[in-house]
Amino acid sequence: MSKIERKKYCVYGEWRESKTEKYMPVTDSSTGEVIAEVPCCTKDEVEEAIASAAAAFPEWSLISLSKRAQMMFKWRDVLKEHTEELTYLCAKELGKNLDEARGDILKAIEPTEFACSIPFSIQGSAALQVTTGFDTATYRMPLGVVAGICPFNFPAMIPWGWMVPLAIATGNTVVLKAASFTPLTSMRIMELFYEEGGFPAGVVNLVTCSRNESELLLTDPRVKAVTFVGSTEVGKHIYSIAAAHGKRVQAQTEAKNHALLLEDADLESATNAIINSTYGCAGMRCMALPVVVVQESIADKFVALLKEKAQKMVVGCAYDPETKLGPVVNAAHKKSICDWTQKGIDEGAELVLDGRNCVVPGYENGFFVGPTILDHVKPGMTVGDREIFGPVTCIKRCKNFEEGLAIMNENKFANGSVIFTSNGYYARQFELLTDGGMVGINVGIPVPSAYFPFSGNKDSFFGDQHVLGLDGIRFYTRAKTVTTHWYDEHSRKKNVGTWEGAFER
C-alpha cells in the first residue's frame, strides 16, 4: 500500500509543513480509499496566513487597475489550460461526474473573466465643479485582508470563483480556509496561482483547519471582511461574531428550493429539468430542486414519469464518462441522507423510489446513494422543510397556483424558486410574489451568470451585499469621496477656500 501524502498549507507564496498533530483524511468518493491527509492547522498557522496577507496588501493594493486586469487575463488562461486536470481531481475527491466537475471549474473561470473588467466595473462617480471651484469624486478602495470560509461541494467555483477573483482584482489580499473534505482541487489551483499565474507572494493564502482555529478569521482586526458558504447555523454564528468585530460579512447558507409545476406546463421538458436539477451533483448543491410542488390534476402522472426517468440514471464511479449520478462526498454524508429518507418515511411520506441500498459493481466501498423519491410530503414534515443535500426529491401536492405559491413561501429558506408553466400571467405573478432570491421560469437551475449577484433571501443569506456582480465589487471595496479645490488669485481675495465662501458666490 502506497504511503498517503500529507499536504501542507500556503503562506507568503510557499507551502509549509504544519506543526499540528492532527491530520484530516480526504477520500476518493467512488472507492472509499483515503487519498491524502490535510493538516488541521494551528491557530499560530492561521495567524501566520493573516500576517502574510496583511504584509502583501500595501504593495498589491497600489498596483494599477490595468496591471491587475492583465494579471487576471493571464490567470484565466492558466485555469483554462488546466481544466481537464482539475476536473478529474474534483470528480475524484467530491464525487461529481466528469461533466459536473468540469462545470465546477468553468464556474471558477467565469467570475475570473468578470474580474478582468475591473477598470470598468470598479468605477465610482465624479462631478466637475459641484459648486464654484470645487470638484467631487467617489472612488472604490480595497478593504485590506479578506477571508473566505469554503464548503465542500464546490471546491473550485466557490473559493476560486466566488471569493478570490473579485477580492484580488479590487486590490485586497485573501486568506482561504479550504474545506477539509475536498481541499485537493483548491490546493492544486493554489499551486498554479503562484507557479503559472505569477502573482506576488501572499496575495492569496490557504489553510485547512477546524472551526476552532478558523474563529481567528472572525475576530482578528486585520481581517476586514468574511465570505462564508455553508449551513445556516454556522452562517448565523459567523455573521454575528464577525459583524460584532466590525467586519463585513457575506454568509450564503442553506436552501430548500421549491419548484411549482402547474398543469399547463410541458410535462416532459419540466421533468427533464427537475431530474437534472435535483439529482445533478448528487443533490449536493444549494441550487438543487429537492421539492416539487405539483398541481394535483397532474401529480400522479408526474410522479410516475419522474420515477421512470430517475430509474434510468446511470449511477457509477465519478470519473467514469458514462456516469450520470456519482457518489456523495463521504460515508458520514451518505448516512445523513439515508437517515433523512427514513425520517421522511417515519413522518408519513410515501417512498416511491429508494436509493439507500445502491451498490456499484467494482466500487462497493464507494459512497453511493441512488435517486430517491418521497411523495405526499405534507406541511410540518421536516423532510420537506430542511435541507437534505442529497439526491432526494420530496413531492408536495397543491390545488392551484395560489396554494402552491403559499406552500413555497412558507419555507424559511429562499435561495431559489422555480415555476414550470406556459401561462404568462402565472409566470409574471410568480416572479413578483415568490420569496426566492433567484427565480427560474421554466428553468430548473436559476443560477445567474457571474455578472449578476447570487441573491438568496431569508435564512439562505446573512449580510448586505451578495457575491458576484456589482454587489461583489461593492462588498470588497469601500467608498472614498474626495472634494478638491485649488486656490487662485481670485479665490484668495474672495474667500473661496471654504464651502462657506463657495456658497457665497
- Residues that are catalytic: 286
CA–CA gap between residue 17 and residue 9 (Å, rounded): 7
Let me know: does 53 contact 202? Beta carbons within 8 Å. yes
Identity at 250, one-letter amino acid code: Q
Count CB atoms within 10 A of the CB of residue 352.
18
The torsion defined by the Cα of 142, 472, 173 and 125, in degrees rounded to 10, comes to -20
Three-state secondary structure string covering 388-457 = CCCCEEEEEEECCHHHHHHHHHCCCEECEEEEECCCHHHHHHHHHHCCCCEEEECCCCCCCCCCCCECCE
Start-to-end CA span in the chain (Å): 86
CA–CA gap between residue 225 and residue 172 (Å, rounded): 10
Owner of C-alpha cell 440514471? 313
CA–CA gap between residue 155 and residue 185 (Å, rounded): 6
Let me know: does 217 contact 149? Beta carbons within 8 Å. yes
Strand pairing of 14-16 and 9-11? antiparallel
Give 145's strand partners.
173, 223
CA–CA gap between residue 113 and residue 76 (Å, rounded): 7
Which of 276, 250, 275, 289 has its CA nearest to residue 389?
289
Q: For 268, list phi and psi in degrees, rounded to 5.
A: -65, -50
CA–CA gap between residue 262 and residue 295 (Å, rounded): 5
List Cα–Cα distances, 402 to 123, 405, 419, 434, in angstroms: 43, 5, 12, 11
Which of 235, 152, 207, 145 has its CA nearest to residue 19?
207
